[in-house]
Structure 1
Amino acid sequence: MRLKPALHRAAIWGERAFDRAFPAKTPENPVLDTYRGYGVPDGIVLRARVLASLRRTTPDPGQSRWQNLRQMASLFLTHEVADVTVVAVESGLTAVSDEEGYITLKIPGEFAPGWHRITLEIKDVPDSRVVAEALVPSADARLGIVTDIDDTLIQTGAYSLAKNLWTTFTGSATSRRVFADATVLLDHLSGHGRNPVFYVSSSPWNLHAFLGKVFDRAGLVPGPIFLRDLGIGENQFISRGHGNHKGGAIDRIMAANPDLPFVLIGDTGQHDAEIYLEACHRHGGRIDAVILREPGSGPDDASRNAISTMRRLGVIVAHGTDFGQVAEALERGGLQI
């Protein structure tokens, strides 16, 4: 238990020593990379990152795996820019980028349901102007959906590190496979777009635009995406754990939508059953159902125990190798969509 704090301190010291020895040049024209934001009871939350330049993949079905690897690797070679003031043009509200370049900006007010487009720019740099999007759920929404991505929606092999890395780095937006049953299920649960869908993954924010392309190509319901910072900082070492990240995202999403019950979707390959059980304990009565895909060798004892416990708590749990029978199971359990 003492080793990780020591490694954390050593990593911070090493990073600072490297920065002193090889100081990065402040870019003359930093840019903004925006991420899908979300509504809260008293406004909307926008998210973005200040970078030296944007990096994007150019999907081509004819590309080799080597070309895909080069493009995907380039997404992680970002130069983040700290201490930059970002302005929401219409309101004049500002935020300052942190050590990893991230900004979070809350715009207070009442916003109509739907997607809102807010103009952001780096202070005193009009050419940096971009549009950030945020979703305010419909007043007619009956529930919210939080779904994992890897091996829940997209075939990844996240339960195997080697398979996950190979799939991630040698695929493209045209080759990544979204399960057809996941597209159908999300459309059904969302009431064809009436109920909000939130996507949560342990993948880094560097993949936000890439995942957006994959989702759009597959026809998935548009929704805010919650990814993970893999940097080294005072409050984290490389990243928070998968469970902490996913649990924290669920907490923020449910706090942002206090009047909605939720359905959680995941898989048994990365401890989602245990993570969702903990969420059920924290948010007693607000999680109506849990849906789990069973990739690889299927659920282990911890997942099976978590499923049994959630059912004893009164949560509808549907699980299997695919989502083909989920709608019927939810209907039998009395879920109102």
Structure 2
Amino acid sequence: MHYATTENIHTTYAEKPRQKVSFFRKVRHAVHSLETRWDHVRLSFKHRFNLMDPVIIFPYRGLGNNREVYIKGRIQENEGLAVEKREDMTVWENIRLMYRRYESDEIPYLPIKGTFYGETIETRADDEGYFEMHFKPGKDLVDPNTEWHHVDLHCPAHKYTLDKDLHARAHVLIPNEKAAFGVISDVDDTILKSNITNFFGKIKTLLMNDAKSRVAFPGIAAFYRELRKGTSNEEVNPIYYVSGSSYNIYDLLDRFCEVKEIPKGPFMLRELGYTRDQVFMQDTLGYKVSMIQRVLSYYPDLSFVMVGDSGQKDPEIYRKIVKQYPGKIKAIYIRNIDQSEQRQSEITAIARELHGWGVPMLLIDSTKEAARHAAELGLITEEGKQNVIDDADKDLREEAQANAN
């Protein structure tokens, strides 16, 4: 007779999760295989019947230091999104543009070269058209007084590029030696009102608003400009935007910051699509943690201020980072979006815990509160604080006037 031992029981229960994981992995692989075949059929059909739109290299802003640089981009058909720079966009035009963003047709597996300070790297786009490059430029090649650098990109002629060479330039942020600290910021409901906690509100905002009509939180542009300056008169402190939004709306977020005069910086967003290891979209929490870790790893001697909101998991993510990088984070500001009693209690507990690590975390109802606290910590000047307060009051008046109309 066979008797169950502790080892047998552990083995029996341990096998079930492995079987589940194996099943879901097989499903992901099957879906990925079908999508890959569909992409091949789609591109072959469009090419055969001259339905291809012009193909472009869409580079995203990169980041790095004088020893290592990272960039990312995508090869895709040009969906004509530059039309959004018009001032008279209608609701239906916004909806159509948003559809184009998410319907964007990637061009997979094309070879691409990048050159940075004489170093050339060759790689190939993946099945979703994305590519990444890591450069090792050498300390003496990078001007320490220049913040923005560029990588020249080239994709050789191919039938899917309509037999034309593709060229583009990616911009890379390497902090000036004068930088006192950096800023890591969320986007949705942190700088941009997105209604992220309200599903229907989020969809309405996403579909019906262009970069100009989207609303920034009062005073946020001035606050980030002052954080860029710190206590100096030069805007040298770098800002990095880490968001759960997808790269499909990269151009929208970039244009939004330009219109609202929010300092530019690299956007680290998520990929959409099916891969062998991903179903539709990367996990938000894990992705944001990994991207923040990437930023921090590039700048071991730079401390950071972190800004997020209470609507999702920013406090939990930032707590994890504080514990992984003790002494690295100067302050955390969390915009008070989810005002439920349970969420307030959770954030209070996290703030209390982080206080024990020597990191203040403030739950703020307005940007003015963050500015006052930042001035107390010596992150910005008293004059800078007043600039933020004045701009916040101005933004509030303009927002009230717009709502009245």
TM-score (norm 2): 0.77
For residues 9-54 of structure 1, the C-alpha deviation after alignment (integer angstroms, 9 at most, x for no partner) is 3243134235436723255764211100112351322211111334
For residues 70 and 54 of structure 1, what CA distance do their matches in structure 2 show?
11
For residues 95-120 of structure 1, the C-alpha deviation after alignment (integer angstroms, 9 at most, x for no partner) is 21111111111222132231112210
1:93 to 89, 114, 121: 121
RMSD of aligned C-alpha atoms?
A: 2.3
Residue 264 in 1 paired to residue 306 in 2?
Answer: yes
Change (3 A) 1:14 1:233: closer
Count of residues in correspondence between the two structures: 337
Counterpart amino acid of residue 122 in structure 2: T
Match of 1:47 in 2: 72
For residues 143 and 253 of structure 1, what CA distance do their matches in structure 2 show?
12
9-18 or 94-103: bigger deviation = 9-18
Tell me if structure 1 keeps the 8 A contact 2:60–2:73.
yes
- 1:272 CA displacement: 0.8
2:203 to 162, 165, 168: 165
Tell me if structure 1 keeps the 8 A contact 2:219–2:367.
yes
For residues 151 and 83 of structure 1, what CA distance do their matches in structure 2 show?
35
- 1:308 CA displacement: 1.6
1:302 alignment partner, SS class:
helix
Residue 16 in 1 paired to residue 54 in 2?
Answer: no
1:137 alignment partner, SS class:
coil
Change (3 A) 1:91 1:68: same
Change (3 A) 1:140 1:62: same
2:354 to 310, 322, 326: 310
Identity of aligned residues (%): 22
Match of 2:391 in 1: none
Match of 1:130 in 2: 168
Counterpart amino acid of residue 68 in structure 2: G
Match of 2:148 in 1: 115
Match of 1:75 in 2: 101
2:240 alignment partner, SS class:
strand
2:186 to 122, 125, 148: 148
Change (3 A) 1:291 1:300: same
For residues 325 and 30 of structure 1, what CA distance do their matches in structure 2 show?
46
Match of 2:58 in 1: 33
Task: Give unmatched runs, 5+ long, in structure 1.
Answer: none
Match of 1:228 in 2: 270
54-63 or 304-313: bigger deviation = 54-63
The structure that is strand-richer by fraction is 1
Match of 1:322 in 2: 366
2:190 alignment partner, SS class:
coil
2:282 alignment partner, SS class:
coil
Change (3 A) 1:202 1:4: farther
For residues 211 and 348 of structure 2, what CA distance do their matches in structure 1 show?
34
TM-score (norm 1): 0.92
Larger Rg: 2
For residues 190-243 of structure 1, the C-alpha deviation after alignment (integer angstroms, 9 at most, x for no partner) is 115210000111111111111111101111111111110122212222222221
For residues 17 and 119 of structure 1, what CA distance do their matches in structure 2 show?
34
234-243 or 132-141: bigger deviation = 234-243
90-99 or 148-157: bigger deviation = 90-99
- 1:66 CA displacement: 2.5
Residue 301 in 1 paired to residue 345 in 2?
Answer: yes
Counterpart amino acid of residue 90 in structure 2: S
Counterpart amino acid of residue 239 in structure 2: V
For residues 379 and 225 of structure 2, what CA distance do their matches in structure 1 show?
15
Match of 2:284 in 1: 242
Tell me if structure 2 keeps the 8 A contact 1:57–1:71.
no
1:66 to 85, 92, 95: 92
For residues 129 and 157 of structure 2, what CA distance do their matches in structure 1 show?
18
Change (3 A) 1:237 1:310: same
Counterpart amino acid of residue 198 in structure 1: Y
1:324 alignment partner, SS class:
helix
Task: Give unmatched runs, 5+ long, in structure 2.
Answer: 1-16, 159-163, 382-405
Counterpart amino acid of residue 34 in structure 1: P
For residues 247-293 of structure 1, the C-alpha deviation after alignment (integer angstroms, 9 at most, x for no partner) is 11110000111110011100101121111101111111101110111
For residues 208 and 294 of structure 2, what CA distance do their matches in structure 1 show?
33
For residues 326 and 303 of structure 2, what CA distance do their matches in structure 1 show?
10
Counterpart amino acid of residue 309 in structure 1: E
